[in-house]
Structure formats: C-alpha cells, structure tokens
Amino acid sequence: MENKINRINALANGCVVLVDRDQDRINYLKNVIQFIDYRIEIAKDSSELKMRILGQEEDVCLTVVLGPDLTDSEVGQLLKVTDQAPLKPAILLMKSEAGVVLNYKSDARFLGTLKLPARFDDLHDLLHRAQIYQEQQQSGSKAQRPLELFRSLSGNSRATRQINKLIEQVAETEATVLVLGESGTGKEVVARKLHYQSARRGMPFVPINCGAIPSELLESELFGHEKGAFTGAINARKGRFELAHGGTLFLDEIGDMSMPMQVKLLRVIQERTFERVGSNKTIRCDVRIIAATHRNLEEAITKQMFREDQYYRLNVFPIEMPPLRDRVEDIPVLVNDLISRIETEKRGSVRLTPAAVMALTQYSWPGNVRELANLIERLAILYPYGVVDIKDLPEKFRVGIDMTKQVGALPLVNIPGDEPETVASVPRLPNEGLDLKAHLSTLEMNLIRQALDESEGVVAHAAKRLSMRRTTLVEKLRKYGLQRAHESTGI
C-alpha cells in the first residue's frame, strides 16, 4: 500500500473538491483523502463550487467529487460551473450505476463511480484516471511532440542499439540500403530514420508498396505516364521516382515485384534514368533508394522468383530487423512510445502496470511491433485513461502465466522530459512473500550489469549512468564478484 500511496503522491500534489452536505460522509472522505496526502476542499452546492473555481488563478484541483444525494438538476448545474474552469476538472460521481450517473456517462469528465466505504484500489485507479485526464487537457495547449520522436527506433536491447549504429553509419552516404525482416518489425521506421538522418532530410520521402499494386500498374506508378499512353490516361502524371527527386524512394515489399518489372527497375537503379510510360524522353532522377522485404531473397533467387542481379544491386548495405520476440527488452520502451503517439494524436491514453508489461514480454508476437501497436490502441479504447493490469489483457497474452506468483523485477522506463510515465509503477508482492534483501540485491546486480554492458565495461561511465561514485561502483563489483568480467576501469 505504501508504494501505491507514493505513486499517487508522485502523480499530483493537488487537491480534491468534494461537493456534499452530509457531515459524516465529509469527515470520512477527509480522513481518506488526507491519508494519501491530498488536500480536500468542501463545497456545499454549485454556488460555492463556482466561487472556488473562479477565485483560483491557477487551479490545482485534480477532481471534483459529487456526493450521492445530489439531484439531476444539481449535477447539471455543477457540470456547467466546471465548464468555466481554465481546465475542466474530471468528474467523479459517487453513485450506483442507476439514476443520475446514466444521464452523464457520455460526458468525457465522467471517470466512474466510488462506492463507500471506499476500497483503496478503486480510489487509486480513479485518481490516476483524473490525473491522466488533466494531463491530456494541459497537453492540448502545448506544442505537439516533434514528429522525429516517432521516427526513432525505440529500445534498449543490444540488437536495437546495433541497428541504430548501422543507421548512423550509412545515413550520410548515398549507398542503397536493403532492410530485411518479418512483417511488422518496423522496416519503414528504419527507412524514415535513414532519410531523416541523411543530407536529404529536407527533401521528399516517397514510399511505395510494390506488392500492393498490380504489376500492370506498377510501371506507371514508379515512372509516371504521358497523356494518352493507355486507356484512362487523360492527363500526364509524374511517377514516384520524379516525386522523390532530391530525396529518398522507399520500395517496400520489393520481393513481391514481378520478374518483368524487376527488369525495368534494373536500369533505373543502375543509371538513375528512366522514361515515362508512353514517352521516349529520358529523365534523370536524383534519388536515394531504400528497399525492404519480409521474404528471403536468396531463397527466392533459387526458386527463380527474384533476379540475382537485382538482388546484388539492392543489397549494398543490408540491415536485418530482428523480430520482437528476440528483443523483448524493448517492449517497455515501445509501450511508452506507442502510448505517447496515441496521446499526441489526441486518441486517448492508457497506462500499463509492470505486471502487464511483463506478461507482454512472454508473448511470441507473430505480428511484431505492429501487433503491439494494435494492442495498445485497443487497450486505450477499452480502458480510456485507465490502468491496465495483467488480468485486463486479452486472453492470448495471459496464456501460461500464473498470476499468483511473483512476476519479477521489470525496469520501468520513463519518457524523457516532463512527460508522465506510461508504465504505472504498482509493485506486487507474491502470495508466498519474498526475501526483500535478496530481491533488491538481484535487481541492483542486474542494473549494474546493464550499465556496464551499455558502457562497454568502462566503470567510470557505468557509474555516471547509475549516478554513483566510481569508487562505490568498484566496491559493489567486488561485492557481487563482477570485477573479473569487467576489468576495464578507465576514466
């Protein structure tokens, strides 16, 4: 319970306004709210609430709690009063599912009901929802988070760090890049990041899915056509190569391109020249080509489904994307980024407990990051501004998980800057208890190992990442017997 209380304190140092006339209920809620270090203010009716709201230059009120004895007309008046606030307070109705509540469930400020005597988990969840609601309202007045955030390749795993390093090395060159990997692993994210980090950053990034366009239309899509070149060509049209001039052309699912079309593409890749359909005028294009496919191209070559010469023209600098099941360490970071994207696009929000995130790391993810993105969007719809625990996940994400046992220590990941955590810190104690000293030692040792790994064994750098003195870290290395594995202690 203490950890949950600390979490609430971290969420908001504000107050709760209670609109009620019952003194026994007021006294009870005062004790509960003050116990979790919130201030509580009392208003007897809409007039007092209006005076309070209009008298606050900067309202730190987190939520307005409406008592259960209020009539329908009184609730309506109170809602009108809160409309006058600079930031509309979230509304928490202490009612059963019948009566007044049903008339206002469509109001975005309605967060749920609280039955008395209150359960701590219920109160915690509702206050958390109120906090997220208010954060969303505040973010509406701020500039959107830069689009570059979503061009990043998120994650802390060794595989992800290696891919980011490859991107940095090849981005400034003009080399053709071939991105390989299963569907949904983020091949287009890599392509966009390559473009964004290159000298072509200010020029167009033009994607085309070669597998989604019929072969008889793909030539026109890529190279354009002249007026009258074929039936229906009533106007001349530029192709993707012309549109991408000076920038980057992303040929997605290049492995699904037909053999005849591959022949036509060969010369363009080699010479950077082409002709529109229905024209014999040669057009020179300045484009950087990035191709991607989920297919095994070497296997396709042996089956005569892909040209070998095409493969070697594209495979100048290959980048292979690992499936999500091979980099589960990235899932907490990806969850943060995906929730941030939903919030930035004003499509709601949601939070996940560490237990829920740990359950996600044990799933096989056949759909990779795309499947994870779909899940987060689904949870944001099912539990708007709520906290999703392991029991709330769809069944297939809970298969084989014993929820009565310890889920283990999961490193929580925060979004940089002033953004709120999207992984809710709600530690869980297993039914059979645990050895806290051993548990904390294991957690400390794992974090030290990670810091050393990310710092390539340089103790001084690892100590800086852990915000401790170098000599302190050396002592801890001796304590855990890690110094032999990391002899490098350079400054």
CB 324 within 8 A of CB 368: yes
User: pLDDT tens for residues 94-111?
Assistant: 655 444 454 555 566 677
Top mean pLDDT of 98-112, 176-190, 385-399 is at 176-190
Provide the pLDDT for residue 109.
67
Class of domain 158-322: alpha beta
Residues 6+ apart with CB under 8 A from 240: 206, 208, 221, 222, 249
Residue with tokens 């304190």: 9
Domains of the chain, by residue range, sit at 2-139, 158-322, 325-433, 436-480
**Which candidate, 255, 311, 313, 292, places its Cα nearest to that of 179?**
292
Predicted confidence band of residue 414 (pLDDT cuts 50, 70, 90): very low
Predicted confidence band of residue 144 (pLDDT cuts 50, 70, 90): very low
Q: Which fold has domain 2-139?
A: Rossmann fold (3.40.50)
Residue with tokens 């044990």: 362
Provide the pLDDT for residue 12.
42
The total number of residues written for the chain in this structure: 491
Provide the pLDDT for residue 464.
86
- The Cα 81–Cα 100 span in angstroms is 17
Predicted confidence band of residue 82 (pLDDT cuts 50, 70, 90): low
309 or 489: whose pLDDT is higher?
309
- The average confidence (pLDDT) of the chain is 77
Phi/psi at 185 (nearest 5 deg)?
-85, -10
Residues 6+ apart with CB under 8 A from 324: 184, 185, 330, 331, 365, 368, 369, 371, 372
Return the structure tokens found at 93: 């109705």
Predicted confidence band of residue 485 (pLDDT cuts 50, 70, 90): very low
Predicted confidence band of residue 399 (pLDDT cuts 50, 70, 90): confident
**Which candidate, 419, 475, 473, places its Cα nearest to that of 447?**
473
The stretch 418-431 carries a mean pLDDT of 50
Provide the pLDDT for residue 310.
93
- The Cα 167–Cα 192 span in angstroms is 10
User: pLDDT tens for residues 218-242?
Assistant: 988 899 888 887 777 778 888 899 9
Which range among 71-75, 190-194, 359-363 shows the weakest confidence by mean pLDDT?
Answer: 71-75
Residues 6+ apart with CB under 8 A from 270: 313
Three-state SS for 316? coil
Provide the pLDDT for residue 316.
95
Domains 2-139 and 158-322 share a fold: yes
Provide the pLDDT for residue 408.
39
Is the pLDDT at 248 greater than 90? The verdict is yes
Residue 194 identity = L
Three-state SS for 297? helix
The stretch 453-460 carries a mean pLDDT of 81
Tell me which DSSP letter residue 483 carries: T
Provide the pLDDT for residue 191.
94
Provide the pLDDT for residue 226.
87
Three-state SS for 93? strand
Return the structure tokens found at 49: 């609430």
The contacts found for 51-57 with CB under 8 angstroms, 24 or more apart, are 52/17, 53/81, 53/82, 53/84, 53/85, 54/84
Confidence (pTM): 0.57
Provide the pLDDT for residue 446.
77
- The Cα 468–Cα 254 span in angstroms is 50
Q: Hey, which bits of 321-425 come out as E strands?
A: 351-352, 387-388
Q: Kindly provide the b/e burial profile for residues 249-265, where b requires at least 16 CB atoms within 10 angstroms of the residue's own CB.
A: bbbbbbbbbbeebbebb
Which one is the CATH code of 325-433: 3.20.20.70, 3.40.50.2000, 3.30.300.30, 1.10.8.60?
1.10.8.60
User: pLDDT tens for residues 6-52?
Assistant: 444 434 446 788 888 888 888 888 877 776 667 788 887 777 777 77
Provide the pLDDT for residue 148.
41
Which range among 72-76, 162-166, 243-247, 445-449 shows the weakest confidence by mean pLDDT?
Answer: 72-76
402 or 13: whose pLDDT is higher?
402
Return the structure tokens found at 303: 């089956």
Q: Which fold has domain 436-480?
A: Arc Repressor Mutant, subunit A (1.10.10)
Residues 6+ apart with CB under 8 A from 436: none
- The Cα 65–Cα 43 span in angstroms is 10
Predicted confidence band of residue 371 (pLDDT cuts 50, 70, 90): very high
Predicted confidence band of residue 394 (pLDDT cuts 50, 70, 90): very high
406 or 269: whose pLDDT is higher?
269
305 or 478: whose pLDDT is higher?
305
pLDDT over 70, % of the chain: 74
User: pLDDT tens for residues 191-226?
Assistant: 999 998 899 988 889 999 998 888 878 988 899 888
Return the structure tokens found at 318: 């290959």
pLDDT over 90, % of the chain: 25
